[in-house]
Amino acid sequence: MLKKALIPLSLKEPHFKLTDMAAYINQFGTETVCLCHIAESTYSESERLRTEESLHAVSEIFRKKGIAAETVIERGEIASEVCRQAHQQGADYISIPWKKKNFIKRSILTSPDIDILRICSFPTLIFKSRGYLGARSVLDTMVYATDCKEADKKVLPYLKSVPFGAETLYFLHVRDRAPDPETDKKRQEHLLQKIAKLEDACRGRFQNIETILAIGSIKNRITRKSRKFEADLVVIGRNEKKKPMDKLLGSTAESLPHRVNCSVLIIT
Confidence of residue 27 (pLDDT cuts 50, 70, 90): confident
Phi, psi of 205 (to 5 degrees): -85, -25
> Does pLDDT of 6 surpass 70?
yes
- Mean pLDDT across 6-24: 94
pLDDT, residue 62, reads 97
pLDDT, residue 86, reads 97
User: Which tens digits make up the pLDDT trace of 58-75?
Assistant: 999 999 999 999 999 999
Confidence of residue 242 (pLDDT cuts 50, 70, 90): low
On whether the 4-127 domain is CATH 3.40.50.620, my answer is yes
pLDDT over 70 percentage in the chain: 88
Query: Do the Cβ atoms of 229 and 141 come closer than 8 Å?
Result: yes
User: Which tens digits make up the pLDDT trace of 192-240?
Assistant: 999 999 999 998 889 999 999 999 999 999 999 999 999 999 999 987 6
User: Which tens digits make up the pLDDT trace of 130-189?
Assistant: 755 545 556 889 999 999 988 999 999 999 888 876 889 999 999 998 889 999 999 999
User: Where in the sequence of the chain do the CATH 3.40.50.620 domains occur?
Assistant: 4-127, 141-267
Pair type for strands 168-175 and 32-39: unpaired
Higher pLDDT, 257 or 59: 59
Task: Judge residue 104's burial from the number of C-beta atoms within 10 Å of its C-beta, 0-12 exposed, 13-18 middle, 19 or more buried.
Answer: exposed
> Does pLDDT of 247 surpass 80?
no
pLDDT, residue 100, reads 73
pLDDT, residue 251, reads 72
- Mean pLDDT across 90-106: 79
Query: Do the Cβ atoms of 258 and 101 come closer than 8 Å?
Result: yes
Confidence of residue 248 (pLDDT cuts 50, 70, 90): very low
- Architecture, CATH, for domain 141-267: 3-Layer(aba) Sandwich (3.40)
- Mean pLDDT across 1-9: 96
What residue spans of 40-180 are helical by DSSP H? 45-63, 78-88, 103-107, 112-119, 151-161
Extended beta strands in the chain, E state: 4-8, 32-39, 68-75, 93-97, 124-127, 141-145, 168-175, 208-215, 233-237, 263-267
Mean pLDDT across the chain: 87
